[in-house]
Amino acid sequence: MTTPPSTEPTMWQRSTTRRFLKWLFSWRTVRRALIGVAGLVTLWALFCAEENVRGKQAWENYRREAEAQGKQFDLAALIPKPIPDEQNFAATPFIKSWFVRSNRTFAAVEYWNGDSYGRVGSMISSSRDKKDAGNRHFTDLVAWEMALAAPHSRDKKVTFESDKRDLASRAKAAPAVLDGLRTNEAVFAQLRAASERPLSRYPVGYDLDNPFAILLPHLSNVRSVCRRLGLKACAELAAGRSAEALGDVKLTLFMADSPKEEPFIISYLVRIACWQAATQPVWEGLAEHAWSDAQLQELEARLQQSDFVSEARRSLESERACGVTAIELVRKRGPGYLNDLGSDASSPPGPRDRSVANDIGLFIPRGWYYLEEYNYCRLFDTLLGSGFDTSKKRISPGQLVAGRQEVDLKLDNGLAKIIHHRIMAAMLLPGLENFITKAAEAQTIANQAAVACALERYRLANGQFPETLDALSPRFISQLPHDVITGEPYKYRRTADGQFVLYSVGWNEKDDGGVPGNKLFDDNEGDWVWQYASQ
């Protein structure tokens, strides 16, 4: 006897899951879903179209107005023009060797690490100088003599320092220091001969799409040359050879200015470091009354040619152009290109990270990239504000700090950076205020050194320093420079020992009576002082 089939529905037929799946995949549900998706896609397309128009219009309107004011956004227009070799200081065999690369290391690095300066330079201690870092000090030639005479050692913990900074001790140590630098003389001679050429353009590969991947191996080499020339000039002054010292100071200043036309902030900062290397022997020669009137006239004229404020603005405008170029590259190549912005041109890309980021980038409206450019440039303008006055060679710390605070308010909130399209601004803007401080320091160095030369010329002619700076013009200086911070004359007074104190009120814009801060150019407290410390 067979059992008739049951007419009761099975458990699966009665289940909620089955009914839900049947509803979900029914034609009616699928059709409604497709209509919904199509609606969402349409809305997103309309949103993207609106954002594209809004972003592009905002950027193009800003750019048009900014270019009418003389601002430059095309990095290619800021690249130095080619120079014929016969006029180009950088077209010499030794300088060209700086750009030769092997095993990811530039060949010249081995040269500087292997000479006497490179071997012992890191062993010279300045702990005594740091206790009075607000003032300049004579170069510790005795420590250099000891380091050069010591057995070769790779133990970087070994240091050399002395408290013998008097002229007699430095003069005794000078021959050993000069002998140690003798291995560089052929290089110095080649650079000295090349400096007779009127122009300079290093063979930098500017033809890369990404400006942040351009290699600048010459900058470390320029700085290495200037450090050695600065030490050499100080030793020559101690040895009573001021004519040779003047030649080395002039070559140092020439080397410092050789990357002057390059549109990079790092090139500008290296120039400042090289100027500091050049002004150390200027200061030592003035402190010891080692320069003749004719030599002082040469130095003074050279120092007065500086205009670090105008050059700082130009460097910042180049930085802005680099930022705009970077954002445009990300817009064209996708967000994954952010990984490559700071990479060496020869570094292998990261395809996995780039592909994921670029997939996400497919859903980003193109107008948002234009808004990134717009906000980056607007915040750049806010940061600089009216803190630069190139006609008067003046920088206003108060206005720059106010601009910095306003920018920080707009960049501190992480979510706001995304919503208001300030991501690239947050990546590229920080640190620019510190650069501007360096520009003020550099102009102060040049101005104070020029005035100090004029003061020494007055002393040579009259037997003492003047009561006021007004006595210098026009015989000893054509025009007195003003404090880059205040726009007013530098503060000056004679001291009881027959010397003087010359100073700027410094970054705090407060007259502290010629008392320096905790370092030579303190950006928190104290004045920026030029005076001759005791030995």
Q: Say whether pLDDT at 97 is over 80.
A: yes
pLDDT of residue 255: 96
Same domain, 32 and 109: no
Same domain, 50 and 105: no
Domain contains 517: no
> How sure is the predictor about 345, in pLDDT bands with cuts at 50, 70 and 90?
very low
Same domain, 141 and 258: yes
Please report, for residues 211, 239, 425, 486, 522, the alpha-carbon distance to residue 384 in angstroms, rounded to integers and kept in the order given: 22, 46, 14, 17, 21
* CA-based nearest residue to 523, from 460, 444, 451, 411: 444
pLDDT of residue 342: 54
Domain contains 99: yes
Q: Which residues pair with 530 in a beta bridge?
A: 502
Single out the residue in 291, 317, 351 at which a domain terminates. Answer: 291
171 and 535 Cβ atoms separated by less than 8 Å = no
- Work out how many domains the chain is built from and give that number: 2
Domain contains 447: no
Same domain, 147 and 221: yes
Burial, 219: exposed, middle or buried (Cβ in 10 Å; 0-12, 13-18, 19+)?
Answer: buried
Q: What distance in Å separates the CA atoms of residue 448 and residue 275, rounded to the nearest whole number?
A: 13
Q: Say whether pLDDT at 2 is over 70.
A: no
Same domain, 56 and 100: no
198 and 84 Cβ atoms separated by less than 8 Å = no
Same domain, 134 and 241: yes
Question: Residues 14-32: pLDDT tens digits?
Answer: 566 656 656 556 777 667 7
Mean pLDDT of 221-242: 96
For residue 48, what are the domain limits? Answer: 26-68
Q: What distance in Å separates the CA atoms of residue 100 and residue 114, rounded to the nearest whole number?
A: 17
Same domain, 95 and 223: yes
Same domain, 112 and 243: yes
Question: Residues 284-328: pLDDT tens digits?
Answer: 999 999 999 999 999 999 999 999 988 888 888 888 888 888 888
Question: Residues 161-185: pLDDT tens digits?
Answer: 998 999 999 999 999 999 999 999 9
- Where are the alpha helices (H) located in 239-292, listed in sequence order? 242-257, 265-287
Single out the residue in 259, 291, 323 at which a domain terminates. Answer: 291
> How sure is the predictor about 500, in pLDDT bands with cuts at 50, 70 and 90?
very high
pLDDT of residue 505: 95
* CA-based nearest residue to 90, from 201, 245, 242: 201
Question: Residues 391-448: pLDDT tens digits?
Answer: 788 899 988 888 888 888 787 777 777 788 888 888 877 777 788 889 999 999 999 9
- Quote the longest CA-to-CA distance of the chain: 141
- Around Cβ 167, how many Cβ atoms within 10 Å? 16
Q: What is the bridge-based pairing of β-strands 101-102 and 105-106?
A: antiparallel
Between CA 407 and CA 263, with CA 380 as vertex, the angle to 5 degrees is 140
Q: Which residues pair with 529 in a beta bridge?
A: 503
Same domain, 96 and 36: no
129 and 516 Cβ atoms separated by less than 8 Å = no
Question: Residues 28-71: pLDDT tens digits?
Answer: 766 776 777 777 777 777 777 888 888 889 999 999 999 898 88
Q: Say whether pLDDT at 346 is over 50.
A: no
Single out the residue in 268, 291, 314 at which a domain terminates. Answer: 291
Domain contains 231: yes
Please give the mean pLDDT across all residues of the chain: 85
> How sure is the predictor about 253, in pLDDT bands with cuts at 50, 70 and 90?
very high
Q: Rounded to two decimals, what is the model's pTM? A: 0.85
Same domain, 142 and 254: yes
Domain contains 39: yes
Which DSSP category does 94 fall into?
Answer: H
**What are phi and psi for residue 502, nearest 5 degrees?**
-120, 125
Compute the CA torsion angle 450, 454, 457, 458 (nearest 10 deg): -160
Same domain, 51 and 117: no
- Around Cβ 74, how many Cβ atoms within 10 Å? 11
Q: What distance in Å separates the CA atoms of residue 282 and residue 237, rounded to the nearest whole number?
A: 10
pLDDT of residue 491: 97
Domain contains 215: yes
Same domain, 37 and 176: no
Domain contains 383: no
Domain contains 80: no
Percentage of the chain with pLDDT > 70? 85
Q: Say whether pLDDT at 203 is over 50.
A: yes
Is the dihedral angle over the CA atoms 447, 452, 458, 461 positive or is it negative?
negative
Joined together, the tokens standing for residue 125 give 């201690």
Taking the chain, what is the end-to-end CA distance rounded to the nearest angstrom? 125
